[in-house]
Structures are given as structure tokens and as C-alpha cells.
Chain A
Amino acid sequence: MFSVIFSGGIRGMEAYLVRVEVDLSRGLPGFELVGSVSGEVKEAKERVQIALKNAGVSLPVARITVNLSPANIKKEGTGYDLPIATGLIICMENIEAAQFAMTAFLGELTLNGEIKRVNGVLPAALALKKQGIERMVIPKENVGECRKVPGMEIVGLEHITELITYLKATEEERKLRVVQKEENVTAHGKADVDFSEVCGQETAKRAAEVAAAGFHHIMFAGPPGAGKTMIAERIPGLLPPLTQKEKLEVSSIYSIVGKLQNGQELVDRRPFIAPHHTISPQALAGGGRIPRPGLLSLAHRGILFLDEMPEFSSDVLEVLRQPMEAKKVQIARSQGIYTYPADFMLVCAMNPCPCGYYPDKNKCNCSETDIRRYLGRISGPILDRIDIVTEASPVTIQDFHQKHTGETTGTIRKRVMAARKLQKIRYQGTSYHFNGELSGREVEKFCPLGSKEQKFLEQVAENGQMSARAYHKVVKLARTIADLAGEEVIGTNHLAEAVCYNSGRKRFWN
């Protein structure tokens, strides 16, 4: 007896179709699993046999051979348990395998026959759909993430006995098992935070607004307790909600690393990733013998927040450089190059000096050398990629007493959305989306200045209020500020504000 069943394998962000071929033949009884399988796939042999036995199916006394094709790609993970079991059942029960030519199976088995969740089901579903697969039989716990994949029917199973019933049923009966797309969506995630809860900090809030509107990387410098983290946590709320396409993109990454737990549906909030400063370069960028996406990719389409930035090791910070430019992480291995998306907005926070209270000389006693050394940990190239350096000033008691008159996230988001709309029109037909992505020549192309404004900037630079290398940054920031104001032309007032967001930078490069 021979059967072919389909399944999916993950390599980097890509998924590929795997043929699971099962053959039962006479001969010395045994169980052979071939097809470039890794350790955990090899263990499927034991899991499948025992799970079937415990479900009341005893394996025939025969020579069993299972081949995972294409046999030249290394198979990883535990998702092949279910397709192997399926293949065996089909062979033993003499079921017509052709019925399942458009179905892919993916899932892990426990010894008592339960079907457990596996990582990477979402990207597998997205990729297999392109290969002509129309239905996927997956663990029930994975249903949430895949349900929204357009054009893919999803069947969620909990136990191997259900699988047997499913395989033996008629097509009409099987169809009934397909999950309804409209079924209730359970909301996940913590309660919303709102900008109106931030006391004072008008400058930092405004800077956050500008950053969110133009996708500018931003740095907050300020004393401990000023609310840098508080503001950073609220920036995702300023960004427009994820589109369906973005949701699938982000969720695929989360699926691969197994972050979609407990039947969670797609990731529907912009990610906010805040690694601790002891993180290793590999954990940040992704890596490992079998590469896995790192936190940079988990922050894709969201915020990467680096608190206490100078405390990060320089190796870690330098890792940021290439992804910030290319918007993806590439990891080279002997088997090939793995690419993970990493299009995030960098938000970082730092103290202005080792003790944190500079320039309040009554509290700060750091010597100039100490401060230089501390600030020097952030290298020029990294700083070059950060458009806004703003101060979060110390919070006073009066700030708390002031009524919560601050704007809500919703109000600010309206302005941000309007500014983003203008950018969408501006960058139609180009590879850009936001002002923050521009560099050098493109700034001059998309953000032209009038002669008066040009002259104004020159004066500012001559006066020493702005360094020459900040020129393009200032212009694209001014473009975003003008967009926020809904104005077509960049004015000197927009430029002046942009210059202010760059004044913090002077301290680093003096």
C-alpha cells in the first residue's frame, strides 16, 4: 500500500510544499523515516506509533517506509507527526488518498493521541495556498491565526480519533468541519494606554506625534522618571491600525517563533518590542543554527523601543544599522540566506549623563569626560539614522496638579493619519511610504524648499544652531511638520521646529 499526503515546511520566512509518502510492504517489520530529516522529525516515528496504538489503532506487521519529499531540504520541527499518521491511516484503512490532494496536514502528536500546536502554521498556510492547497488540517490551537487567510479552508482537530473520523467521512461531512470565518473573534491584548495620561511633557509628546506621522526614528533624552518609557509605550497608539495585509505579515513572524499562543488570532495591534539592555546581538537580529527571527523582526510594522540605549553593548547597537537601512534582516548560513522583514520605527530613551540629572548642576556631578564617554557609546552612524533627538524634562509636582488637559491618543492620531494620507499621495508610484524613509537626494526631490526657506536654513547653519550634516534630516522633518499642519509648502516655521528637534544632537557631536 502506498499513499501521498501533503504538508508544509518552513525555511526562514518561506514555506514550501512537502510530500509525505507512506509505503506499507511485506518484509521484515520495521519503521523507516527518510528524506533529510532532523532529530525532532525522526522522533515522529515513536510519537506516531504510540499515539496510534493508544487511539486503538494497531500498526500492521509490515515494513513501513515514510519519505518526506523534496528529500534534499532539511526538515525541521514537529509538524510532520500529523501528516505521517494520516498517511499511515489512509494506507491501513484503504482510504482513497486522492481525496486529500488539495489538503495539507500539519501538527504534532502526543503519546496519548492529542494534536498539539506547532509554530509557523500561518506562513505555511499563506505559501501553500499559492501552491494550490485549498484546505488545511491543523491543531485546533492553531486555528485562530489561520482562519483569516483568504481562500484557505481550515479544519482544527484536537485528537487523533477525530482525525480518523475525518478521514473516513464523506466530503460533505468533512466540509462541515471547516471553521467558519465569521466566528466570534476574541479580543486579546492589554487595556489601552492613552496620551492624556502623560502629565506635562508637551515637547516630547509633540515630538512623538511628528515621529509617528513621518515614520522618523526618535530618541528621548531625559532624567529618570521623566516619563520617557510612558511616552514610548503610547506611540503605537498613534500609528494607524494594521491593514489586513500587514496583519498577516506580522502574524506570520509571530507564528514562526510560536508567539501566537492559546488560539490567538492574528496580531491586530502594532507590536511594541522593548528588549532589555543585556540582550545579545543574535537575540535582537535573529540567529541560531537554524535561524529564527529576532526581536527586530518581531517589531516589524511596529515600535522597537530601546530603553537606556547607552547601556546596550556596542555590538548590539551596531546590529541595528543594516536593518534600519534595508528594513530586513539577512542571516547567512551554509544552507543559504534567511531573510526576515524588519521594518520598525526605532524609539530610544537615554539619560543625558551617567547619573541622569544633567544639566541640573545641583543634582548632577558627572564630569564632562564622564558625560562624553557615556554619550559616546552611541556611535555616529546610529545617531545619523535617528531624525529626532528630544528632551524629556523632569516632571514637577505642578505637572501632576495640572488637570489632565492633555490631548488623547485619538485626537493626535487623527492628525497623524491626515499627515500620512498626504504622504501616501506624495509617494504614489515610488518605493517610499513616509518622509522618514528619504535620504539625501530624495529629500531634495520630494521636499523642495523655497529660496527664502533655503536662505533661512543657511543662516541657521552659519549661526551654529544646526550642523551641516543635519541638513537633510531637518528638511524631511520639516516636511512632516508641514504635513501635520496640512500645508503644501514647507515654511520657515516648520524648519525652525525641525531645527529644535535636532538641537539635542549637538551635544553628541561636539
Chain B
Amino acid sequence: MANKKEINSSILQMNASDTQTGEWDNLQPYAYWLGNINGVGRATAKKLLEVFASPMEVYSAGEKALSQVVNSTVAEAIIEAQKQEIRAPHEALLEKNIRFIPFYHPDYSKRLQDIPDAPYALYVKGELPADDKRSVAIVGARNCSAYGRYVAETFAKELARQDIQIVSGLAAGVDGLAQNAAIEAGGQTYGVLGCGVDICYPAYHKPLYEKVIESGGMISTYPPGRQPQPVLFPPRNRIISGLSDVVLVVEARKKSGTLITVDMALEQGREVYVVPGRITDRLSDGCNNLLRQGAGAALSPEQFMQELEETVWREEGEKTRTDKTSASQKNPNISNIKSSFNAKLQTSNLLPQEKALLALLDFYPISLDQIYMTAQTTPILCELTLSQMMEMLLMLSMQGFVNNEGGYYMLKKPV
């Protein structure tokens, strides 16, 4: 009861500066308790905290006081929950290295605080994206094509090199590929899950899951142990867009979960950029549609960053300039980026036949048969036997020009 008196103003009005960390820590078990009462959702919890000064107050409130804020069923649920042990569950959480960050906490993401219906709390393994660093979400088809794979990896790599945080959903396809590429480029990447942060979904992404936690962090609004369910994923897309300044879409079908992220992003006032695809390509239907509706076109990492520099990040840039006086520090010289995206492959060492063979390939998988058939109508290649072509393709694969995916061949990089 002594504690209760010390907190004289509502926790919502407190600043990190005028409170000592110890006090936040004291409140944490109560905040965790409030976030995990059956029947008390994000809105109710926030409403309660507008009336009661802190979660601890809610914990010790009587039924009468509660009934003034919430309806009787919820009040009863809270009264029932007040009988629970308060510290042990939170300590168990800490033991698993999972942090619980309620929305009023200074560690809570500023970006998320701005979005409508910001979650009551985040469960974090590792870190949250830094508020003062740029952050881009890269999302797209799970079942992406080689083109999608290449684009996602290239963008993620280049952005990560410019110290931009990559936020995504750890899903198969574009999400996971982008995060992996960001880690390989030495950048920071953050995964937002549709299940508890202690669960790796999809399970075969376990190595990536570990690496993401090491490089950045794993974030979820669901308590640990919550199994992935289809209904949990659309709300998590809201967090992906919320944690970033821009959402970049790489490959999406006409009806794609990625488009939910886009809707959320627009609702939250985030920019949406899209990588265009061929109009004959069903995996790019969603992207091309977004372009038609006025989304920004991401044609290369340089152009993408340049445009963002002029729009989204300009204000922020100006702000920093006044803070730090040195503009050059903040503005990376984007034109100097040595991107591999537009640089052509060095094919000068190849034989004429090998060059001609490369010219037959594409970013889309082509079967050996199709290559062979086309080759027979190409003057320089028509003499090749099937075996010779297999040998040549193997050589090109080993030199990194070509990817062989089970008998289908495709370009690894633009030629």
C-alpha cells in the first residue's frame, strides 16, 4: 500500500526521465498480469489505465471501482484474476529471456505508439527496432519465384548496408529471404510473429530465427506459447507496417496476405513501395495492381532510397541536422552505393557458346528440354549435344551465373 501512494500521477503521463527504472520494474508484473486476463483486451486494458493510475491500482481495485469503467462480466473476470499469483508468471517470462513492454513503457516503440489501436504490450526476444534509425518492412509472397528471391535479397542487402533496419514476418519466401540477406550483409532485422515469440514458425526457419534474435529481435503481441493460427496473422501484419517507415512489397498475388500489410500501412500513414513484375506473371498481379493504384515503384535500391530520402526521411533528416549540425553524417551518399543490382555480370571470360547459352536463360526456371529446344534453333548452339549442354550448364552454375533447381535452370543475376 505504501507503493501505491508514491505513484500520485497516472503512469500514462510519466516520462522516462522523471521516473527511476526501478519503479517501472516494480510495475512490470502487474502490467503483465493485466495483459493476460481472459476477457480484457487491448482496448479495455487501455481504458482501465486511463482511469486507474497504474496496473497495480487495477490489481487492487474493488469491484465497485472497476464496474464504473468496464461492464460487470469484465469486472468479475478482473476480480477473479486478482486472486492469481502476480510475480511468478512474470519471472518465468524473464527467465525465458522474453521482455514484456507495455505501451506506456519508455522502451515501447515510438512508431507503434502513433498507430491507431496500438497494441497494449509487446513481447520481445532481443531488441525492438530503434526509434532513431530508419526502418523498412520487406514483405511478399511466401511461394516466391526466383525473381522474387533475387529482388528481395538484393534490396535487403543494400538497405541493410545503409544501416536501415529490415522488419518482416520470418515467413517462408520473400520475408525470410530478405531477413536472411540483411543478416548476411551485417544489418539489423526484426521479425514479427503471428505466434508466441518463443515459437519458431515455420519450424524449418529455426536457424534464421536464432540469427534474427541475435541481429535484432523477435517481436509478438501474443503471449509466449501461443501456437500459430491463421487468425493471428493479419493483426501481426499491422505491427510489421507499424514498426517501419516504408513497406516494400516484393511479389504478391492478386489475393495475398501481403495486401493486408499494405492496407494496414496506408491506414497508419506509411509509404508503400512496390517492385513491379511482368503482367503475365500471376505472382506479380498484386504488385502491379498496387502500382496502378498509385503505390511507389521500387526499381532499384538506389532509386528507392533516393526517393525516400526526399520524402519520408526528409523531415527526419532536417530534424537531425538541427540536432547534430552535420548533415553529411546523416545523409548517406546514395549515389555512391555500389549496388550489384544494375551492374551486369562479368561475362567477358566466357566462351561465345557459353554467352549464347546464358542469353537463353531467364529469371524464371526453364527446363533443360526447353533450353535444348531453343538452342537447336540458335546457330551457335545447334551443334551442341544434350550431354555437352549439361556440362556447360554445370560449369555456369559453378561459376555462379546460373541456378539449377532440380533440372530447371535460371539466371542468378541479370546478364
Contact = CB atoms under 8 A, between A and B. Distances in A.
Interface size class of B (residues with CB under 8 A): 35 or more
A391 B368 contact: yes
Contacts of B393: 500
Contacts of B370: 393, 396
Nearest to A205: B386
B315 interface: no
Given A203-B386, A460-B394, A393 B369 contact: yes
A286 to B, nearest CB: 35
Given A393-B367, A507-B405, A202 B391 contact: no
B281 interface: yes
B398 A463 contact: yes
A423 to B, nearest CB: 19
A149 interface: no
Nearest to A200: B369
B142 A497 contact: no
Contacts of A201: 369
B367 A206 contact: no
Interface string B278-291: 00111100000000
B292 to A, nearest CB: 20
Nearest to B366: A393
Nearest to A362: B282
Interface in A365-390: 365-369, 372, 389-390
Interface size class of A (residues with CB under 8 A): 35 or more
A206 B405 CA distance: 19
A390 B373 CA distance: 17
A503 interface: yes
A146 B372 CA distance: 50
A157 to B, nearest CB: 58
A412 to B, nearest CB: 13
B367 to A, nearest CB: 3
A481 B388 CA distance: 12
Nearest to B369: A393
A351 B125 CA distance: 41
Nearest to B387: A497
Interface in A349-372: 352, 359-362, 364-369, 372
Interface string A456-475: 00011001010000000000
> Which 6 pairs across A and B sit closest by C-beta, in order of nearness?
A391-B407, A393-B367, A496-B391, A500-B390, A393-B369, A504-B406
28 contacts: A202-B373, A203-B368, A203-B369, A204-B369, A206-B387, A221-B407, A359-B406, A361-B281, A362-B280, A362-B282, A365-B143, A368-B142, A368-B173, A369-B202, A372-B204, A389-B406, A391-B367, A393-B407, A463-B398, A481-B387, A493-B387, A493-B388, A496-B394, A500-B390, A500-B404, A500-B407, A503-B407, A504-B406
Interface of A: 200-204, 206, 221, 352, 359-362, 364-369, 372, 389-391, 393-394, 396, 398-399, 459-460, 463, 465, 481, 492-493, 496-497, 499-500, 503-507
